[in-house]
Amino acid sequence: MLISLTEIILLVVFLFMFGLTAYNLVILSVGVREILRRKHLKEHDGKHVKQCDLPFFSLIVPMKDEKKVGGRVLEAMMRIDYPSDKYEIMVVDDGSVDGTSDICREYEDVYPDRIRYLRRNVSFGKAAALNYGLKSAKGEIIGVFDADNVPEPDVLRNAAECFMDRGVVAVQGLLSSINAEENMLTKFVHYKGLIQHYAFNCGKDKLGLFVAVAGTCQFVRREVLEEVGGWVDGALTEDMDLSARLTDKGYHVAFAPDVRSWQENASKFSQFIKQRVRWCRGCMEVAFKYGKLLKHIDKRSFDAEVFFTGPFMMLFVLATYVLGLYMTFVPFNLGVYVSLLTQFMSVLTLFTLSILGMALAYTSSPRKISNVQWLPFIYFYWAIEVLVSFYAFLQIIFRRPRRWARTSRTGAITNQ
């Protein structure tokens, strides 16, 4: 039986999507199982490190026009349950003009032993601000928190316990939405985050795969951070670039869901699109820059390349959307092989939906079976991200100017 060129192309596309789906499904399944296992363990008390062994943390908080949330993050950091002589807070004001500087100076005056205020009159982006803070940091562990964050009081004790393992050079904590109930968009972002950042990272950490630092609620050993050159100035996604360099050096980033911070999700569609386009383009640029990770391939570097090429893989998803739409209106004989593979994909999709449903039900606390009803909306949300990836790809192709656009904050809190 002869196979036409069109059928060969379809087979390649479907086999690629089948392999990618199966690969991610294994990670997601392991992550859900790990979440269930953790829920049956005794609640973590965060007191296993002796007082004399607690490391010194330097927490860098970059701010630019964060008047609405600046006081909130500093107030939360004053409630951190950690010896006051074992951590410092370094606020790097990156050229704010909205009164953020006044708020920061007030807190520095009240807590001069814990808060240091650093001012830059000209803004060069988040990465440059972090490097500016790193130069003056005294800690052996460098932590980063965005201005919209509200870290849990036990965040440093739990992070310190992770670093008792000398093989761990960086820790990424769990990010939860502080404004999930603000509107429909923040709800989408919240549930997508439960799957992508909680369930997937649990699975990746358990399997010893690549875990990326997410730009906030992240901690890195100072000596390692200086070894890889800190953060790259001008990078659209400075966290992804740092993650790639850590992986290139063979270092392990641990995911610790008990190292938790609350953050504000974009509540306006326009802000959401700008943020996602920057993330997608930045991730694509990192994929181009660090393709060398596959030169010394192991499971972690391979998974890192799969992660960084995620936005490009979205283009294949877009191709399947277009192909499906085409076949809806134009009669087309798929052929035996493509028809069989399509049926397998349908079965795999149903299985994936069931795993996603479990993830939505069990990643929330308390457990909410009703979260399953959000599955169709999350697929719609991912369809939007497919289009965002395509737009970011076009920006690279046509060499559009690279702009680091900050996400505006409202200070909304819907989860008490």
d(CA 92, CA 213): 20
Six-digit token string for 364: 């929330």
Neighbour-count burial of 322, counting CB atoms closer than 10 A to its CB (0-12 exposed, 13-18 middle, 19+ buried)? exposed
Is 246 in contact with 283 (CB distance < 8 Å)? no
Six-digit token string for 375: 């599955």
Cα–Cα separations (whole angstroms), residue 136 to 95, 116, 131, 277:
18, 10, 9, 33
What is the per-residue pLDDT for 113? 93
User: Which pTM value belongs to this model?
Assistant: 0.87
What is the per-residue pLDDT for 45? 46
Report the residue count for the chain.
416
Is 107 in contact with 147 (CB distance < 8 Å)? no
What tens-digit pLDDT sequence spans the chain (416 residues)?
456 676 677 677 677 777 887 898 899 889 988 988 887 775 544 446 667 689 999 999 999 999 999 999 999 999 999 999 999 999 999 999 989 999 999 999 999 999 999 999 888 889 999 999 999 999 999 999 999 999 999 999 999 999 999 899 999 999 999 999 898 888 888 888 888 889 899 999 999 999 999 999 999 999 999 999 999 998 999 999 999 999 999 998 999 999 999 999 999 999 999 999 999 999 999 999 988 776 778 899 999 999 998 898 888 778 777 766 776 677 666 566 556 656 665 666 656 666 666 666 666 656 666 666 666 776 677 788 889 999 999 999 999 988 777 788 888 888 66
What is the per-residue pLDDT for 46? 46
Phi, psi of 343 (to 5 degrees): -65, -40
CB atoms within 10 A of CB 410: 15
What is the per-residue pLDDT for 42? 53
d(CA 274, CA 404): 10
Phi, psi of 142 (to 5 degrees): -105, 125
Is 177 in contact with 262 (CB distance < 8 Å)? yes
> Strands 252-263, 168-177: parallel, antiparallel or unpaired by DSSP?
parallel
d(CA 86, CA 58): 9
d(CA 89, CA 92): 10
For 281, residues 6+ apart whose C-beta sits below 8 A from its C-beta are: 236, 311, 392, 395, 396, 402
**For 199, how many CA atoms within 13 A lie in the half-sphere containing its CB?**
27
d(CA 249, CA 11): 37
d(CA 371, CA 185): 15
d(CA 231, CA 138): 17
Q: Please report, in angstroms and rounded to a whole number, the separation of the first and last CA atoms in the chain.
A: 64
Which amino acid, 194? L
Q: Which domains does the chain have, with CATH numbers?
A: 42-183+213-279 (3.90.550.10)
d(CA 26, CA 386): 22
Going across the sheet that includes 218-221, the strands are 115-120, 87-94, 57-63, 141-144, 218-221, 168-177, 252-263, 150-151
What is the per-residue pLDDT for 406? 76
Sign of the CA dihedral with 295 first, then 300, 303, and 309 last:
negative
d(CA 29, CA 348): 13
SS3 content of the chain, % helix, strand, coil (to 5): 55, 15, 30
d(CA 157, CA 214): 20
d(CA 234, CA 169): 24
**Closest by CA position to 172, among listed 230, 83, 246:** 246
What is the per-residue pLDDT for 370? 63
What is the per-residue pLDDT for 6? 65
